Chain A
Amino acid sequence: MSVAEGEPAAGAPAVGSSVLLEAERRTTGRGARRRHAPRPGGAPGERRWLAWLFLLPAIVMLGAILLYPLIYSIVRSLFSDTPTGAVRSFVGLHNYGAIFTDSRSLQAVKNNVYWIVVVPTLITIVGLIFAVLTERIRWSAVFKTVLFMPMAISALASGITFSLIYADQPTRGLGNAVAIGIHDTFSSSHPYPSVHPRDTAVFGGSPKAGYTTHQSYPAGSPVLLPVVGLNLTHPPSSTAQATAPTSGTGISGVVWNDFRLGGGGKPGAVDLGERGLGGMPVQAVQNGKVVASTTSASNGQFSFPSLNSGSYQLRLPSSAFGQPFNGYSWLGASLITPAIMVVYLWIYAGFAMVLIAAGMAAIPRDALEAARVDGATEWQVFRRITAPLLAPVLVVVFVTLAINVLKVFDVVYVLQQVAGGSAGVADVLAVTLFRDFGNQQYGLASAIGVLLVLLVVPAMILNIRRFRRDQT
């Protein structure tokens, strides 16, 4: 980025996706900066007051908006509040203790820990994977642009965007529409939610307990299990014309919908037009215990050829009748925090990827090729050369994300607003601080603010040390 390197001083803004590659190639020009570290010569004394003139606006602003508030908050955090926000009395560190004892702010502390443990690591790994995978893809610049784009969008817009995905009703929320689609593809646990016995003479039970025949059937006799309630206008593909059972070895029978469109069939007998229920789980029960289970064919027939002696009750278990899967409550108490983290991942994955890709582009190719020529496997090259050389970049990405995650407010606040109700379970410290501020509990809010500052002090020291190292 240094002018001395011969870069255009003020080039026209490049348009198009190739510029991401360009930006990457330049890798923020840290090296260049180091080489051109200024050694301003002995400036004449007359220029000194000029320096202060140049600095004055910045000093005033930094003093008023950053330094004064820092000192004010530290002092204010040692005092308790009246209900209207006035200072009540000096309480020492009591407000800090309250952060960890009040159940709501304790929940926020726990959530912050959860965020810090999960999110920076997750996003760094995702960014690394994407950076590696796109390294030699021709359209990687387009991919990077797409992934980086959410960084330009406000957390509010992102929150509204994702609320459209997280809506509870499967007809509205894309998340549940997809979840139900996947669930129903891989699981047929409730194939016939609307089906029930034709009459209680044959079966007893309920959808929740399953239906069990009153009678026990001896081996060799065909069993008829008539049910009704199948959707006949759109019969499931697992059903077909029912076939009356024939006697054979063991227990066998048919489970079918004893009703046909237009009516006219004979109750209790398999008629033309009546459909067998395929995929129906059937259990053989003896003395209240399930001794065997099978699944019916699409014509409704099932058999237990191994049950050659004794007599058995038959049961259609509850798994055939339960209510259909309705998706997840994404913004409900148990999933809201992970759901918000997903939004955060969506926003920051591109950032991590672009930074890591820039770091990878800076790795000398010769070293990699030399290792490969020497017979190193791809994994060895990654572990011994790429990873160590990339480590500083990964640390920068991780630390940046960690700082941002500590202060996370917007995304959480927006999705909490949308979720309403019990959304308080997703509180983080920044949200608690904002609420305390709104409730004029300035001492408590100040304590949380000071705590946040203390938590970023390591990053502050890291920045200063990095800068001093770069200067030498």
Chain B
Amino acid sequence: MTSLAGTDIVTGSIRRGPAARIAARTGGGALRIFLIVVALIWLVPTLGLLVESFRNPAQYANGGWWQAILHPAQLTVSNYSALLKNSSITTALRNTVFISVPATVLVILIGAAAGYAFAWIDFPGRDLLFLLVIGLLVIPIQIALIPVSKLYTTLGISGSLLSVILFHVGFGLPFAIFLLRNYFAGIPRDLLEAARMDGASEARIFFRIVLPLGMPAVASLGIFQFLWVWNDLLVALVFANQSSQPITVALIDQTRQFGSSIDILAPGAFLSLIIPLVVFLAFQRFFVEGVMAGSVK
């Protein structure tokens, strides 16, 4: 073993991790097969949902989705065409967009402004206030359900899209401020000083220098927050009403009669997850970075 490792270094080979050693001992095949099996196990549930969503619902009683692979005649697009004619589902999908987009944009704008102030403007109590923001990172949303719903009643916005959006903005902010402040703090000081020397206003510095340079962090935050809001169930369950409910709430009511609602549930769930999935695959790097930075949340 030692001599082997030695040769590796001599020949300038890259590091050989434990996995490589295990692979070398088992001929690599066993490890590879194991990982392929694991990956398949992770894919199968979603694949099953996709197949089921294209199946004639009458077939559900007769057997699981895998039967459709043997009998492709069971497949049909009628679930989707029926679903897209179902106004409560289409409204709910639209509501999901109308909630997710503003909640993401607002969190970015408000969070970036605060992050900039925390990073580059000196004011009394700054550090203490920022520690408070960090403390708020982990606060469970459950604590706010009752007081905020009472607050919304007072403000007269109960059940509206706005009520759901504002709640998401509030709970998205600690992480947004935390992430952006830390990123903005890495912007070279000379750049800002030079701009200030030139007499640029703080607003100008913020919009022209800090925000453009902070784009990677803004993107991470934006995607993270977008997926978070898009996928939310609890907040919408509490604050939305019949006309403002997003797709998650519209579908949860159907889950009680799982078997008989499968023609709505399977395609509905798939429609609700396809957007996040595409966003994830397209902007994977930003999402992973957002999640990794969010591992304090």
A interface residues (Cβ-Cβ under 8 A, vs B): 1-4, 7-11, 13-17, 19-20, 22-24, 26-29, 32-33, 36-43, 47-48, 50-52, 54-55, 57-59, 61-62, 64-70, 72-73, 76, 130, 132-137, 142-143, 145-165, 167, 171-174, 177, 346, 349-351, 354-355, 358, 360, 365, 368-369, 372-373, 375, 377-378, 381-382, 396-397, 400, 403, 406-407, 409-410, 413-414, 417-418, 420, 430, 433-434, 437, 442, 445-446, 448-450, 452-453, 456, 459-460, 463-464, 466-468
Contacts and interface: CB of A to CB of B under 8 A. Distances in A.
Contact of B227 (A152, A173, A351): A152
21 contacts: A10-B216, A22-B285, A27-B292, A40-B119, A40-B122, A47-B123, A58-B111, A61-B169, A68-B147, A72-B146, A133-B19, A135-B20, A137-B23, A148-B280, A149-B42, A365-B15, A382-B18, A396-B296, A418-B258, A434-B145, A464-B135
Contacts of B273: 152-154, 157
A122 to B, nearest CB: 15
A452 B167 CA distance: 19
B2 A43 contact: no
B197 interface: no
Contacts of A368: 15
Contacts of B206: 54
Given A150-B46, A152-B287, A163-B258, 18 more contacts: A3-B188, A4-B186, A15-B281, A36-B186, A55-B113, A61-B169, A61-B173, A72-B146, A76-B147, A133-B34, A134-B35, A152-B277, A161-B48, A174-B48, A407-B141, A449-B146, A460-B134, A467-B131
B170 A62 contact: yes
Contacts of A420: 256
B39 A73 contact: no
B5 interface: yes
Given A69-B144, A378-B21, A463-B137, A40 B64 contact: no
A65 B230 contact: no
Contacts of A27: 292
A158 B188 CA distance: 43
B58 interface: no
Nearest to A429: B142
B60 interface: yes
Given A70-B143, A157-B49, A463-B135, A2 B212 contact: no
A160 B140 contact: no
B288 A354 contact: yes
Q: What 6 pairs across the A-B complex have the smallest Cβ distances? A: A65-B170, A154-B231, A10-B215, A152-B280, A2-B186, A69-B144
Contacts, number: 408
A174 B288 contact: no
A66 B272 contact: no
Interface of B is mostly: helix
Interface in B157-171: 166-167, 169-171
A23 B224 CA distance: 15
B17 A153 contact: no
A441 to B, nearest CB: 10
A134 B120 CA distance: 41
Contacts of A174: 44, 48, 64-66
B43 interface: yes
A157 B269 contact: yes
A161 B143 contact: no
Contact of B122 (A41, A407, A437): A41
Nearest to A160: B269
A418 B255 contact: yes
B151 A453 contact: no
Interface of B: 1-2, 5-6, 9, 15-23, 31-32, 34-35, 38-39, 42-46, 48-49, 52, 60-66, 109-111, 113-114, 116-124, 126, 129, 131, 133-148, 150-151, 166-167, 169-171, 173-174, 177, 182-183, 185-189, 193, 202, 206, 212-213, 215-217, 219, 227, 230-234, 237-238, 248, 251-252, 255-256, 258-259, 265-266, 269-270, 272-273, 276-277, 279-289, 291-293, 295-297
A155 B22 CA distance: 36
Contacts of A396: 295-296
B187 A4 contact: yes
B282 A15 contact: yes
A10 B216 CA distance: 6
Contact of B110 (A2, A58, A145): A58
A464 B131 contact: yes
Given A355-B295, A442-B146, A453-B139, A14 B170 contact: no
B31 A54 contact: no
A258 B52 CA distance: 45
Nearest to B285: A19
A448 B142 contact: yes
Given A40-B121, A157-B273, A172-B60, A146 B111 contact: no
A148 to B, nearest CB: 7
Given A65-B167, A68-B147, A47 B121 contact: yes
B146 A152 contact: no
Nearest to A349: B42
Contacts of B251: 156, 160
B235 to A, nearest CB: 10
B66 to A, nearest CB: 7
Contacts of B2: 372-373, 375
Contact of B117 (A17, A51, A350, A418): A51
B123 A64 contact: no
A358 to B, nearest CB: 7
B5 A64 contact: no
Contacts of B295: 355, 396-397, 400
Contacts of B296: 396, 400, 463, 466
A137 B38 CA distance: 14
A1 B44 CA distance: 35
